[in-house]
Homo-oligomer: A and B are copies of this chain.
């Protein structure tokens, strides 16, 4: 299977991190323990300024990344690279205020939880590690996935003195402030994915919502639907079922990866179900996706730390407008209403989000014009079947800020664990291209370094 190093090749460290980098109130000086892990195994050492691969954690405990992100360990040997995985503040074991309960109490304690602070954390940890290892001239390549990919590209933009380059996998940095029109966003790609897999499947799904509504509006309609879909608890509203299905299609599209290709699996079942009943077909798709379990929909589930954390993040700086408005959409019409959005965030947390802050701080509008002659060494990699690719950078910005995409790729696929047996050529090739670009950055850097040292 994967060439990844075993997790126990990693040593765990904690950095005494500043709570608020951008403020000097007494409270800002509070600290918390930020977790990071290092694998020294392949590192060429500071004498040769061997590279450092730094994975910038996103909205989950870093352990998860360690087990599924293969790009670093699969390439560490040929680069003689040190590998470091750094956990994002407020996730995993890197939670301020002593406990998750305290940290998530309200906006007073959550206020410090945002992307600009996270980037400053990464800068401090990396500067600290380089100093400890006497490796101040080792080039750092930051790598991130999805939100973490945004962080990686932004890190290169804001901290070029800390990281030489960034591999930003499936990073929808243009999915803010209507840079990409919401109607061309996430749901339009999910629809395209299903339609390309099967026109009849797409039509069935498109029709199913009104069928569900029609039945739900009948007396006993909800219990009929509950039975039909083997729900774990009786449905109270049809939206429970619809949200579940919405989610299922989105997941299938986002992670539509080889060798299984979930969209094909779902559509195969929908198209293959006997009879003409739409809901029977849809349920066949559900079973095909989720496997045979005792029940579907309304599974009892605890809120994960990702649920909790990301919910806050989308109500502070990460305001990503989702909509489904075109007639072609296989989803019910859904318009993004910023005012409603702000209202609901305020109701939940007591403070409003700042929907324009990301573009103020990081830019995004007219990105080619802004960055064509500014910055360097960023790879924006995308799989075009990934719904988030709609907010990604899909064209080269300059010679050294480049877009690498795979037509059939899914979310973050290029940096997830490789599979030597089942990975298709286009995926192997995409990874090779990325490695080649990074090698070029590092070679050029070493030449600069040699000239600099003279």
A interface with B by C-beta (< 8 Å): 18, 20-26, 28-29, 107-108, 110-114, 116-117, 120, 123-124, 127, 136-137, 158-162, 316-317, 350-352, 354, 357, 359-377, 400, 444, 448-449, 452
Contact = CB atoms under 8 A, between A and B. Distances in A.
B22 A108 contact: no
B22 A22 contact: yes
Given A26-B111, A162-B363, 11 more contacts: A21-B22, A21-B357, A21-B361, A24-B113, A28-B111, A29-B351, A120-B361, A136-B366, A369-B449, A373-B376, A373-B448
Question: What 8 A-B pairs have minimum CB-CB distances, sorted nearest first?
Answer: A161-B363, A25-B111, A22-B22, A161-B370, A24-B111, A160-B374, A24-B316, A23-B111
B371 A160 contact: yes
A361 B123 contact: yes
A150 B362 CA distance: 20
Contacts of A23: 20, 22-23, 111-112, 114, 117
A26 B351 CA distance: 6
Given A161-B364, A361-B123, A452-B369, A25 B107 contact: yes
Nearest to A360: B123
Nearest to A357: B21
A120 B360 contact: yes
Of listed A23, A354, A368, residue having the most chain B CB within 10 A:
A23
A319 to B, nearest CB: 12
B366 A24 contact: no
Of listed A22, A360, A400, residue having the most chain B CB within 10 A:
A22
A124 B360 contact: yes
A113 B136 CA distance: 31
